[in-house]
């Protein structure tokens, strides 16, 4: 199990557990749900938008570049795997 990391961000301690290079679970941020590092942008919200048909570039623009294409790709790889008893999510490709 990954160990929590603490860094100084914006003059405050920021403690998180890395799930990848861009996706983290940060103590005290969004109830510990996965977000993109150093943001309060929920991974689930971005994936919901993709599944609803929003384009990756549109999502990046709407978050003013605070979420990158690589970050979205990582989130999709982490969370698009089917869990037992669930239907496979639709296949999404980030160009």
Does a structural domain hold residue 34?
yes
pLDDT at 81: 65
Largest CA distance in the chain: 44
Domain with 70, as residue range(s), is 5-79
Per-residue tokens: 33: 């749900």
Does a structural domain hold residue 30?
yes
pLDDT at 56: 96
Does a structural domain hold residue 91?
no
pLDDT at 68: 98
Does a structural domain hold residue 87?
no
DSSP category for residue 5: E
pLDDT at 65: 95
Which residues on neighbouring strands pair with residue 17, listed in sequence order?
25
| Count of the separate structural domains present in the chain | 1
Give the helix/strand (H/E) hosting 48.
helix 43-51
pLDDT at 95: 57
Does a structural domain hold residue 42?
yes
- The SS3 assignment for 73 reads helix
d(CA 53, CA 62): 14
DSSP category for residue 32: G
Q: What are the CA-CA distances from residue 60 to residues 6, 23, 73, 86, 88 (Å)? A: 27, 15, 12, 29, 25
pLDDT at 36: 98
pLDDT along the chain (95 residues), means of 10: 90 94 94 96 97 96 97 94 55 55
CATH number where 59 lies: 1.10.10.10
pLDDT at 29: 93
């Amino acid at each position: 199990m990954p160990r929590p990391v603490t860094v100084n961000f914006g003059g405050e301690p920021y403690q998180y557990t890395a799930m990848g290079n861009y996706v983290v679970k940060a103590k005290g941020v969004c109830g510990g749900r996965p977000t993109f590092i150093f943001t309060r942008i929920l991974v689930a919200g971005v994936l919901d938008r993709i599944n609803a048909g929003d384009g990756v570039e549109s999502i990046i623009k709407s978050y003013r570049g605070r979420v990158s294409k690589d970050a979205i790709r990582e989130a999709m790889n982490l969370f698009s795997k089917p869990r037992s008893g669930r239907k496979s999510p639709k296949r999404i490709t980030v160009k």
